[in-house]
């Protein structure tokens, strides 16, 4: 077995590589978000605004989707928080409002409190062709 000093040197190098890779991944993710935004704008400019609109190029198919998320009035946050607690729905609120849980309530027909609604937003689904 190598000496502890050598093992720590290896660990430091692996941590450096991990940090470098994380920074690269973060940069790539930022670039991908910008490209996704630009694709949405380009599809809208081309009149491709309906849910299910598709375009395929370079072995990649993109489908425009309408998704839903929770939306709340910050001035009503205390009321929303109180409503969740009083109605046994505290699971909706973590450090932020849980979109999925709010959407479940909407699907169940639960009336949301004043200040809490939902909003539609455009999203993209990608599928790569097998190469």
pLDDT at 131: 62
Q: What are phi and psi of 120, to 5 degrees?
A: -85, 150
Render pLDDT for 38-79 as a digit per residue (tens, 0 to 9): 999 999 999 999 999 999 999 999 999 999 988 889 899 889
pLDDT at 129: 78
Task: Copy the structure tokens of residue 55.
Answer: 């375009």
According to DSSP, the residues that pair with 54 across neighbouring strands are: 63
| pLDDT tier for residue 107 given thresholds of 50, 70 and 90 | very high
Cβ atoms of 124 and 63 within 8 Å: the answer is: yes
Render pLDDT for 3-46 as a digit per residue (tens, 0 to 9): 999 999 999 899 999 999 999 999 999 999 999 999 999 999 99
- pLDDT of residue 130 exceeding 80, the answer is no
Cα angle 53, 71, 122; round to 5: 10
pLDDT at 95: 64
């Amino acid at each position: 077995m190598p000496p502890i000093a050598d093992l720590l040197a290896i660990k430091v190098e692996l941590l450096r590589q991990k940090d470098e890779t994380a920074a690269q991944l973060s940069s790539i993710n930022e670039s991908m978000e910008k490209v996704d935004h630009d694709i949405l704008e380009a599809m809208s400019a081309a009149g491709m605004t309906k849910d299910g609109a598709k375009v395929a190029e370079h072995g990649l198919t993109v489908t425009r989707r309408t998704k839903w998320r929770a939306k709340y009035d910050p001035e009503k946050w205390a009321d929303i928080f109180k409503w969740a607690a009083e109605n046994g729905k505290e699971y909706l609120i973590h450090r932020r409002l849980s979109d999925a849980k709010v959407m479940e309530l909407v699907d169940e027909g639960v009336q949301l409190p004043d200040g809490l609604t939902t909003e539609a937003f455009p999203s993209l689904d990608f599928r790569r062709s097998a190469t």
